[in-house]
């Protein structure tokens, strides 16, 4: 029977290994290579023109690769993660919005799903001048509906949104943050007719208005505990408290009448 060599990592002192664990946990996920159609799942957002696309494979944080190396490293990393001071309880997701398609890709998963408290959506819009995103102030499909579908999917299925069965215990978040940006750098659109910056500001304002009403509607109860944070491209943050026990009936009716559940 061939002799299995011990990983060189285990020859290092515990302090060095802990430092490596720290970097592995905080590392960003590598951007996936172009997936074939067989690796992509697609689902229609409810009562919407949007289609959500996500990878059938579970996301692979770096620390998970280390845990699969051998039993001792698996136990050490589990022990390391048991101390909440050792990780940042946040996750980040990139949503590539090219209407009618919304492609979902994780960019950071720094801890196990049950410890994730804060989730950031980096929404990248491919066409800021899309009439469907700019037609009316109260349009429900100004990105909110597909984002809400993704948020609900995360709460019930965890980071592996392609999971066939829901989790035994739904996840709850403390805060959800939105960062809206153009998929194409604005400096690369200087020759575009119109003002991309103005369009981006308008889209940001409309989504902010919808999120303000949504936070008061009671539909986020059980998913988001505290607040929604919306960041503009200049870094300015707007915080919106989420209502739970008391909510605005007009806002609830506003969304429930068009299929938000």
Averaged over 162-166, what is the pLDDT?
80
Averaged over 202-229, what is the pLDDT?
89
Any idea what the Cα angle at residue 92 is, between residues 17 and 110, rounded to 5°? 15
- Record the pTM: 0.80
- pLDDT classification of 34: cutoffs 50, 70, 90: very low
Q: How far are the Cα atoms of 89, 189, 196, 197 from residue 193, in angstroms, in the given order?
A: 42, 9, 8, 12
**pLDDT digit string, tens, across residues 100-129:** 899 998 888 777 777 788 999 999 999 888
State phi, psi for 109 to the nearest 5 degrees.
Answer: -135, 95
**pLDDT digit string, tens, across residues 238-256:** 999 998 778 889 999 988 8
State how far the Cα of 63 lies from the Cα of 26, in Å rounded to an integer: 9
**DSSP conformation class of 32:** P
Domain coordinates of the chain in residue numbers? 39-56+89-256
The answer to whether residue 184 scores a pLDDT higher than 60 is: yes
Strands (E), the chain: 40-44, 51-55, 90-98, 101-109, 118-125, 173-182, 224-231, 237-241
State phi, psi for 136 to the nearest 5 degrees.
Answer: -150, 150
- pLDDT classification of 33: cutoffs 50, 70, 90: very low
- pLDDT classification of 214: cutoffs 50, 70, 90: very high
- pLDDT greater at residue 228 or residue 61: 228
Task: State how far Cα 93 lies from the chain centre.
Answer: 3
Averaged over 136-161, what is the pLDDT?
79
- pLDDT classification of 135: cutoffs 50, 70, 90: low
Task: State how far Cα 154 lies from the chain centre.
Answer: 8
Q: How far are the Cα atoms of 42, 143, 168, 173, 199 from residue 125, in angstroms, in the given order?
A: 19, 9, 34, 25, 11
């Amino acid at each position: 029977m061939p002799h299995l060599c011990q990983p060189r990592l285990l020859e290092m002192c515990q302090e060095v290994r802990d430092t490596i664990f720290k970097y592995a946990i905080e590392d960003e996920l590598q951007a996936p290579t172009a997936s074939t159609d067989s690796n992509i799942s697609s689902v229609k957002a409810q009562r919407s023109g949007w289609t959500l696309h996500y990878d059938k494979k579970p996301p692979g944080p770096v620390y998970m690769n280390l845990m699969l190396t051998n039993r001792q490293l698996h136990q050490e990393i589990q022990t390391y993660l048991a101390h909440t001071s050792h990780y940042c309880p946040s996750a980040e997701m990139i949503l590539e919005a090219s209407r009618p398609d919304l492609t979902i890709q994780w960019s950071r998963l720094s801890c196990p799903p049950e410890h994730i408290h804060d989730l950031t959506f980096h929404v990248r819009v491919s066409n800021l001048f899309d009439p469907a995103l700019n037609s009316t102030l109260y349009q429900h499909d100004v990105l909110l509906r597909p984002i809400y579908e993704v948020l609900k999917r995360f709460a019930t299925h965890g980071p592996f949104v392609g999971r066939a069965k829901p989790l035994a215990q739904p996840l709850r978040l403390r805060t959800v943050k939105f960062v809206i940006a153009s998929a194409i750098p604005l400096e690369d659109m200087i020759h575009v007719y119109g003002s991309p910056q103005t369009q981006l500001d308008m889209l940001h304002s409309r989504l902010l208005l919808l999120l303000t009403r949504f936070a008061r509607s009671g539909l986020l109860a059980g998913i988001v505990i505290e607040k929604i944070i919306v960041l503009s491209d200049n870094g300015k943050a707007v915080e919106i408290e989420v209502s739970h026990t008391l909510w605005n009936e007009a806002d609830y009716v506003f969304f429930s009448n068009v299929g938000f559940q």
